[in-house]
Amino acid sequence: MGLEVSGVPETMLWTLHNRASEALRDDGVIRDPECLRVYRGIEYDYEARFGNASPSHGVRSRVVDAEIRRFAATHPRPTIVNLGEGLETQRYRLADLEVRWMSVDVAEALAVRERLIPPDDTHVHLAASALDAAWADAVPEGPVHVTAQGLLMYFEEQEVDGLIRMLAARFPGAWLSFDTIPEWLSRRSMHGWKLTPSYTVPRMPFGISRRELPAKMARLVPGSVTREIPYSFPRGAGRWLAPLLSATPVLGSHTPSIWTVELPTRP
């Protein structure tokens, strides 16, 4: 199947490339046959467009999988809302859980997803921007875990703030799992970050220091609990460099990071 996507929606193919390449490895951090089915079902020259694959998005998927399992273990029959999900195949990796899945994405991206990953009664698709609070009306009562993998960095900071406040108001007691990039990487993207000669990463206006994120969440949503989940690269220089950088006071604040924020319940 051929695809024509551009801008932020095209990043779904970049992350798919990285996850699938990790799933193909004998020592990969994820096992994901459905990801490989989707990957192979698209006529696209991934390496020419995005270059050699990185384990980063496979690591991120593994971390968020674990957070969803942790939430589901203590919250019966929750709804998992995936914002900007793209071609993520998380629902298959976690098929043993008794959960309801909702994918919220812009219409262009969701149309691509539905050609490869169709919705059904327990896997609902909603064509909407994550910033449009109206999608929250479709979420059923009960425990909610919201994920935003590779999404928030594409918004302006005030949009991120508004989204988090909306989630806290609409889903008290929910968990929110997301990743962030540092400010230097955000600046690089704003000046044209060419991943390869043929692919320029879309602008990513929102970057934040790892040291600043917990305080920001506390200001936005008083009473919330913020946890960082460290990146753990499976091989190569990243295996020892990532924890070393994270432990370094100055350099450690300027690395990508993954977080879960436990939103407060109503008093």
Position 240 confidence tier, pLDDT thresholds 50, 70, 90: low
Q: What percent of the chain has pLDDT over 90?
A: 85
Position 200 confidence tier, pLDDT thresholds 50, 70, 90: very high
CA distance 201 to 189: 7
Parallel/antiparallel/unpaired status of strands 194-196 and 175-180: unpaired
Position 233 confidence tier, pLDDT thresholds 50, 70, 90: confident
Q: Once rounded to an integer, what is the mean pLDDT over residues 113-127?
A: 95
Which domains are present in the chain? 61-262 (3.40.50.150)
Q: What are phi and psi of 104, to 5 degrees?
A: -110, 120
Residue 81: CB partners within 8 Å, gap ≥ 6?
A: 102, 104, 139, 144, 145, 146, 147
CA distance 38 to 14: 13
Contact indicator for 133, 125 with CB cutoff of 8 Å: no
Position 135 confidence tier, pLDDT thresholds 50, 70, 90: very high
26-39 pLDDT tens trace: 999 999 999 999 99
Single out the residue of 66, 64, 86, 82 nearest to residue 15, CA to CA. Answer: 86
Give the type of residue at 85.
E
- 0.95 cut: is pTM over it? no
68-88 pLDDT tens trace: 999 999 999 999 999 999 999
> Can you read off the two tokens belonging to residue 97?
């859980």
CA dihedral 189, 195, 198, 200 (to 10 degrees): -10
Residue 40: CB partners within 8 Å, gap ≥ 6?
A: none
Secondary element (H or E) of residue 179: strand 175-180
